[in-house]
Chain A
Amino acid sequence: MGNHGNIIRLLCVIVLLVPLLTGCWDSVDIEDRAVVLAIAIDKAEKNAKENEAEISHLKQKGFRKPQEKMIRVTAQIAVPGRIPLGPDTGGGTGEEKPPVWVLSAVGHTLDDALLNLQQEVADPIFLGHLRVIIISKDLAKKGVKRFNDYFRRNPEIRRSAWLAISNGNAAKLINVAPKLERVPALYIAAMLENGVKLGKFPNDFIGLFWRTLSSKGQDAYLPFLKVKEEENIQIKGLANFSNAKMVGMTEPLEIGLYMGVMGERKGGYGVFVDVPGTKAKVLVEAVHRKSRVKTVIRNGKPHVQIKIRYEGQINEKDHEKVEINKSAVIKRIEKKAATDTEKSVKGLIRKTQQMQSDIFGFGEYVRAKHPTYWNENVKTKENWHKLYKEGTYEVKVVFHIRRVGMKAE
Chain B
Amino acid sequence: MNQLREITVIQTTCILISTIIGVGVLPLPLFGVKAADTGAPLVTFLAIMIAFLGLWVITKLGIRFPNQSIIQYSETIIGKWPARICNFLVIAFFLLLTGLGAREFGEVVVTAVLRETPIEVTVIVMLLMAAIPARNDINIFSYIHVFFLPVILSPGLIIVALSLKNANVLYLQPLWGHDHKVMILGILTIAALFQGTFIITILIPYMRRPKKAMKASLWAIGIAGTFYLLIVIAAVSVFGPEEIKQLLWPTLELARTTSWGRVLQRLDVIFLVVWVTAVFTTLYSSYLFMAFSISQFFHLRDHKMLSYFLLPLVFVIAMYPKNSLKMYEVIVLVGTFGLILTIIYPCVLLVMAILRKQEGHRTIENG
- Interface of A toward B, CB cutoff 8 Å: 16, 19, 22-23, 25-26, 152, 155, 158-160, 203, 207-208, 210-211, 214-216, 361, 364-365, 367-369, 371, 374-375
B124 contacts partner chain A, Cβ-Cβ < 8 Å: yes
Contact of A214 (CB < 8 Å), options: B115, B128, B240:
B240
List the B residue with the shortest CB-CB distance to A205: B257
Q: Which residues of B contact A216 (CB under 8 A)?
A: 242
The contact sample of 26 A-B pairs, CB cut-off 8 A, is A19-B125, A19-B128, A22-B114, A22-B122, A22-B125, A25-B114, A25-B118, A25-B121, A26-B115, A155-B113, A158-B256, A158-B265, A158-B266, A159-B253, A159-B256, A159-B257, A160-B257, A210-B243, A211-B240, A214-B239, A214-B243, A214-B245, A215-B171, A364-B170, A368-B173, A371-B173
Contact A211 B176 (CB under 8 A): no
Digit string of B171-185 for contact with A (CB within 8 Å is 1, else 0)?
A: 111101010000000
Contact B117 A211 (CB under 8 A): no
B111 contacts partner chain A, Cβ-Cβ < 8 Å: yes
B166 contacts partner chain A, Cβ-Cβ < 8 Å: yes
Contact A23 B111 (CB under 8 A): no
Contact B178 A374 (CB under 8 A): yes
A371 to B112, CA, bound (A): 37
List the B residue with the shortest CB-CB distance to A210: B243
A159-B257, A368-B170 are known contacts. Are A26 and B240 too (CB-CB below 8 A)?
no
A160 to B256, CA, bound (A): 8
Contact A361 B116 (CB under 8 A): no
Task: Identify which of residues 243-267 in chain B touch chain A, using a CB-to-CB cut-off of 8 Å.
Answer: 243, 245-247, 253, 256-257, 259, 265-266
A383 to B242, CA, bound (A): 16
Q: Which residues of B contact A152 (CB under 8 A)?
A: 246-247
Min Cβ gap B311→A in Å is 13
A23 to B121, CA, bound (A): 10
A368-B173, A371-B176 are known contacts. Are A211 and B38 too (CB-CB below 8 A)?
no
Contact A215 B122 (CB under 8 A): no
A207 to B128, CA, bound (A): 37
Contact A22 B117 (CB under 8 A): yes
Q: A158-B266, A364-B171, A367-B170 are in contact. List 11 more A-B contacts (CB 8 A).
A: A22-B117, A25-B114, A26-B114, A26-B116, A152-B247, A158-B265, A159-B256, A211-B240, A214-B242, A368-B172, A369-B173
Q: Which residues of A contact B246 (CB under 8 A)?
A: 152, 210, 214
Min Cβ gap B33→A in Å is 11
Contact B116 A25 (CB under 8 A): yes
Nearest 7 CB-CB pairings of A with B: A368-B173, A214-B242, A214-B243, A371-B174, A25-B117, A159-B257, A19-B125
Counting chain A CB atoms within 10 Å of each CB, the highest count among B243, B253, B256 belongs to B243
Min Cβ gap B145→A in Å is 22
Q: Which residues of A contact B117 (CB under 8 A)?
A: 22-23, 25-26
Contact B178 A155 (CB under 8 A): no
A213 to B173, CA, bound (A): 18
A215 to B171, CA, bound (A): 9
A85 to B128, CA, bound (A): 43
A16 to B168, CA, bound (A): 48
Chain A interface, >50% SS class:
helix
Contact B253 A22 (CB under 8 A): no
List the B residue with the shortest CB-CB distance to A27: B116
Q: Which residues of A contact B173 (CB under 8 A)?
A: 367-369, 371
Q: Which residues of B contact A160 (CB under 8 A)?
A: 257, 259, 265-266
Min Cβ gap B86→A in Å is 36
A361 to B173, CA, bound (A): 14
A403 to B74, CA, bound (A): 79
Q: Which residues of A contact B176 (CB under 8 A)?
A: 371
Min Cβ gap A363→B in Å is 10
A19 to B125, CA, bound (A): 6
Q: Which residues of B contact A214 (CB under 8 A)?
A: 239-240, 242-243, 245-246
List the B residue with the shortest CB-CB distance to A370: B174
Min Cβ gap A365→B in Å is 7
Q: Which residues of A contact B122 (CB under 8 A)?
A: 22
Task: Identify which of residues 104-141 in chain B touch chain A, using a CB-to-CB cut-off of 8 Å.
Answer: 111-118, 121-122, 124-125, 128, 132
A203 to B166, CA, bound (A): 9
List the A residue with the shortest CB-CB distance to B239: A211
A159 to B267, CA, bound (A): 11
List the B residue with the shortest CB-CB distance to A368: B173
Contact A19 B121 (CB under 8 A): yes
Contact A215 B174 (CB under 8 A): no
List the B residue with the shortest CB-CB distance to A211: B243
A19-B125, A22-B121 are known contacts. Are A155 and B239 too (CB-CB below 8 A)?
no
Q: Which residues of A contact B259 (CB under 8 A)?
A: 160
Min Cβ gap B253→A in Å is 7
Min Cβ gap A210→B in Å is 6
A109 to B114, CA, bound (A): 26
Q: Which residues of A contact B168 (CB under 8 A)?
A: 364
A371 to B346, CA, bound (A): 40
Q: Which residues of B contact A371 (CB under 8 A)?
A: 173-174, 176, 178
Min Cβ gap A364→B in Å is 5
List the B residue with the shortest CB-CB distance to A363: B170
A361 to B171, CA, bound (A): 11
List the A residue with the shortest CB-CB distance to B266: A158
Min Cβ gap A102→B in Å is 25
A4 to B222, CA, bound (A): 51
Digit string of B255-294 for contact with A (CB within 8 Å is 1, else 0)?
A: 0110100000110000000000000000000000000000
Q: Which residues of B contact A16 (CB under 8 A)?
A: 128, 132
Q: Which residues of A contact B172 (CB under 8 A)?
A: 368
List the B residue with the shortest CB-CB distance to A24: B117
A282 to B117, CA, bound (A): 65
Q: Which residues of B contact A368 (CB under 8 A)?
A: 38, 170-174
Min Cβ gap A16→B in Å is 7
A16 to B131, CA, bound (A): 12
